[in-house]
Structure 1
Amino acid sequence: MSIAPSRVTLPDFIDSRPVSRYQYIVIGLCGLVMFIDGFDTQSISYMAPHIAEEWGLSKQVLGPIFSAALAGLMVGYLALSPLSERFGHRRMIIASTVLFALGTLAAAWSQNVTELMALRFITGMGLGAAAPSAIALTGEYSPKRLRATFVLAIYCGFSLGFVAAGLVSGWLIPTFGWRSVLVVGAVAPLLLLPALLRFLPNSLTLMINKGAEPKRVRSILRRIDPGLAADPDFTYEAEKQPDEQRTALRNLFTRDRVVGTLLLWLVFVINLGEFYALQSWLPSIMTSLDYDMGTVVTATTLTTVGGIAAAFVTGPCMDRLGAYLTLGTVYIVGFAFVALTGLALSAPLWVLLTANFFAGVCISGGQKSLIALSAVFYPTSMRSTGVGWALGVGCIGGIVGPIVVGAALGMGWSASAVFYAMSIPMLVAGVTVLLLGRWVRSDKHPDRAVVESQSLAHK
């Protein structure tokens, strides 16, 4: 009588075991990709005043420079990241890392605005394609009980990249010029590349479903659990992922969901517009007010630190008080602190730094919470499509926000007036989230019972 072969089933294999050193390496590498992504995204904000001085640019021209990478980011989110389903997360991460490294390096030798904008667009495409794959790979190699924690950790890596951009820029630009920051931003991912090639695995689910050689699958599984027998009779199963992309996308606009989708997109557009306008223009505004580079870096960094700190507060509040009430309150409080930042530009420095910190809590922290809220809003069958398209559409705000602020400054608006104006969309976002929550609790929402029972702690 023949003996049935042993069987390994995903994701049960990963969910049922302690986290191995190999899994920590995979998650750590994804976190480093996100860190470099954040560094490259933010560094242009510190270089902008020096680029304008060297090339004799007006403030209106800086807005499109800020937005060029965000336009590429949107293309990466919407068009390139789905290719990972065909070619695998590993290939997408490696190819994207090479793309944004070479784009950044080439930008260091750009000689005019057109060249710089084109290269920043290419860089943004690479950044936008790498991040979703890094997040997806982290989720797959994390046990369900720790998945949210590990995904949040690599998101914090993105925010820490913002912090590092300020520290490195403050150190390099006064001595070596703005191009040196681009060189560092290019060399870092190239140095990371050998580790990605050596240690980063592909999606196990994709490999099994596409019929990869069992030996390749087994080698990864044994890195996760060295005690797994090297039995040639092992068979492997993974959850089948039906191709529901078109159906899921169409379901975003069904009669009973289109209102919620559009309200959610509006909040994403506002939040990303506020976020990138603040991060892009705060260094230039403070430099024009004769603050030294160290103070500029500190003030801008505090907005990012505020966003990281917010993650430890808003999450439990969203669980206990409700996602919509919590986030709506965060945005309404943000309305006050963004306006206070404008007032604080002429106040003592400690007042300005405090206002910057709490503005970051509400804007940067609000963005992280908004991603969590969108994961609650959409059911499992369409969650990845819903969240991905919300981020992609939100990039429109990220592109337009810096351009609008640049235009306002170019027309002679004071920096304080710009912040007063920026506070109003925060109020709109807060009211929109509260209305969205009210709509979700009404009978008009198709998944009302499911949504109301979901807990963010299980996402």
Structure 2
Amino acid sequence: MSQQPLRLHLPDFVDERRMTPYQFRVVALCGLVMFIDGFDTQAISYMAPHIADEWGLSRNALGPMFSAALVGLMVGYMALSPLSDRFGHKRLVVAATAVFGLTTLGALWAGNVTELVVLRFVTGMGLGAAAPSAVALTGEFSPKRLRATFVLAIYCGFSVGFVVAGLAAGWLIEDHGWRSLLWAGAAAPIVLIPFLVRWLPESPVFMIRRNVAPERVYAVFRRIDGTLPPSLPGQTEPVFSVEENDSGQRTAFSSLFTRKWLWGTVLLWLVFMINLAEFYALQSWLPSIMTDLGHPMNVVVAATTLTTVGGIAAAFVTGPSMDRLGPYRTLAVLYLVGFGCLALTGVAFHAPLWVLLTANFFAGCCVSGGQKSLIALAAVFYPAPMRSTGVGWALGVGRVGGILGPILVGAALTLNWSPSAVFYAMAVPMLAAGVTVALLGMRYGPSRQGADRTDPAPDTEAPSLSHGAGPAVGQGPSV
């Protein structure tokens, strides 16, 4: 009598086990990618004034250099991140890291604004392509009970990259010129690539869906759980199955707009636009507002830095809270608190300095921390086959808010709104974001999972995605 094949299902296999050093290494590598991403994104802000002085440019000419990378990010998020569905997350992370490393290196020899803008655009594309796949791999190798925490952790790497870019700029540019910061920004990803090739695994979900050789897939499972037998003599090959996206043979992108996911996708995009509008408005205009109020530069820098530090600090609270109390409840409460904190900042402009700086810190906790938490929510909202595309498109569409936010605040200041009035107005969208996340929780939260099992069948029946016999198990949002 033949033995039954070993059946291994994702994400249950990961969810039911403790984290291993192998999984921590995957998270650490993805965090390093995000760190370099943040460093490269922010470094241009410190180089720009020195580029303008050397090339004899007006300050207005710097605008295209800033926006080129942001437009490239949007293209990377929306057009390139879905390529992971065809080529795999590892290949996309490695290729994207190589692209933004080499284009940053190429910027060393840029001789005019046009060349630099083109290189910054391509750099942004690489940065935008790498981030969603790094998030997806982190989510796939993290158990559900810790998924939000680890996604938040790697996105803290992005914020730390912002901070380190400033420290490196202060150390390098004065003594070695602005090109020295490009050398650092190019060397880091190029040095990281061999480690990614050697140590970053391919997504097991991708390998199962692509019918990769069973021994390669099984090797990844064994690295997660060393108690599995090294081989299976006398047995048929193991049966692998994965969480389906409830949309049959559709691509990950088209799955975002099926009956099950459309409502959630639209609401997520709305919250991403609100949060990024708040984030870029805060980062863009707070220094100018503080300067116009007569504060010295060291206070302006401290106030702006505190918003970033607040976002990092918030992650230590919101990540575990999202995993233990639920992502929707945690994020809705964070946005509602953000409503109060932004309004408090408006009041604090007329208060002692320590009150204003404290308000800046807590506003950053809710705005910058909310953005990181929102990415974690997207990572647990979408199942693994859709995760990279879902996160990438949410970030890409959210950039529309990132563009509009600073424009709207600038228009308000042009109309002679006071700083307090501006921040009172900025508080209102945070309230809307909190309500929207609460609606998402009502539709897709844990209380709905049991009801979803009785919902009508999806548009097409999900096929088996396994090696050997055995059906793939379909599930709803993994939250």
Per residue, is there more helix in 1 or in 2?
1
Contact 2:378 2:390 in 1 (8 A): yes
| 1:153 positional shift | 1.5
| 1:220 positional shift | 2.8
Which deviates further from its counterpart, 26-35 or 10-19? 10-19
| 1:438 positional shift | 7.5
Partner amino acid, structure 1, of 2:361: F
Residue equivalent to 1:176 = 176
Q: Does 1:303 align with 2:335?
A: no
SS in 1 for 2:142: coil
Aligned match of 1:332 in 335, 339, 342? 339
CA shift in 2, pair 1:104/1:283, >3 Å: farther
| 1:229 positional shift | 2.3
Superposition pairs for residues 51-66 of structure 1, below 5 Å? 51-66=51-66
Q: Partners of 1:214 and 1:379 in 2: how far apart?
A: 22
Partner amino acid, structure 1, of 2:242: E
Q: Partners of 1:204 and 1:304 in 2: how far apart?
A: 34
Residue equivalent to 1:165 = 165
| 1:388 positional shift | 4.1
Superposition pairs for residues 17-166 of structure 1, below 5 Å? 17-166=17-166
Q: Partners of 1:65 and 1:279 in 2: how far apart?
A: 17
| 1:83 positional shift | 0.7
Residue equivalent to 1:235 = 238
Q: Partners of 1:75 and 1:251 in 2: how far apart?
A: 26
SS in 2 for 1:237: strand
| 1:130 positional shift | 0.6
Cα shift readout 1:289-314 (whole Å, capped 9, x = no counterpart):
8966x776654432211011223445
Q: Partners of 1:434 and 1:325 in 2: how far apart?
A: 4
Which deviates further from its counterpart, 94-103 or 231-240? 231-240
Q: Partners of 1:296 and 1:75 in 2: how far apart?
A: 33
Gaps of at least 5 residues in structure 2 are 453-477
Partner amino acid, structure 2, of 1:368: K
| 1:61 positional shift | 3.6
Which deviates further from its counterpart, 275-284 or 25-34? 275-284
Contact 2:338 2:363 in 1 (8 A): no
CA shift in 2, pair 1:53/1:239, >3 Å: same
Residue equivalent to 1:450 = 448
Residue equivalent to 1:389 = 393
| 1:385 positional shift | 6.0
SS in 1 for 2:19: coil
Q: Partners of 2:348 and 2:315 in 1: how far apart?
A: 21
Q: Partners of 2:417 and 2:115 in 1: how far apart?
A: 32
Partner amino acid, structure 2, of 1:235: P
Partner amino acid, structure 1, of 2:11: P
CA shift in 2, pair 1:230/1:323, >3 Å: closer
Q: Partners of 1:378 and 1:213 in 2: how far apart?
A: 26
Contact 2:151 2:375 in 1 (8 A): no
CA shift in 2, pair 1:342/1:79, >3 Å: farther
Q: Partners of 1:12 and 1:374 in 2: how far apart?
A: 19
CA shift in 2, pair 1:39/1:380, >3 Å: closer
Q: Partners of 1:141 and 1:68 in 2: how far apart?
A: 33
Task: Give TM-score scaled by structure 1 length.
Answer: 0.80
Contact 1:45 1:280 in 2 (8 A): no
Partner amino acid, structure 2, of 1:333: G
SS in 2 for 1:155: helix
Gaps of at least 5 residues in structure 1 are none
User: Percent of counterpart pairs with the same letter?
Assistant: 57
Equivalenced residue count is 442
Contact 1:269 1:398 in 2 (8 A): yes
SS in 1 for 2:82: helix
Q: Partners of 1:216 and 1:396 in 2: how far apart?
A: 41
Q: Partners of 2:417 and 2:61 in 1: how far apart?
A: 20
| 1:5 positional shift | 4.3
| 1:164 positional shift | 1.4
Aligned match of 1:248 in 246, 256, 263? 256
Cα shift readout 1:100-119 (whole Å, capped 9, x = no counterpart):
11122222333333222221
Contact 1:170 1:297 in 2 (8 A): no
Contact 2:135 2:388 in 1 (8 A): no
Task: Give TM-score scaled by structure 2 length.
Answer: 0.77
Q: Partners of 1:439 and 1:432 in 2: how far apart?
A: 11
Superposition pairs for residues 309-324 of structure 1, below 5 Å? 309-314=313-318, 319=325, 322-323=329-330
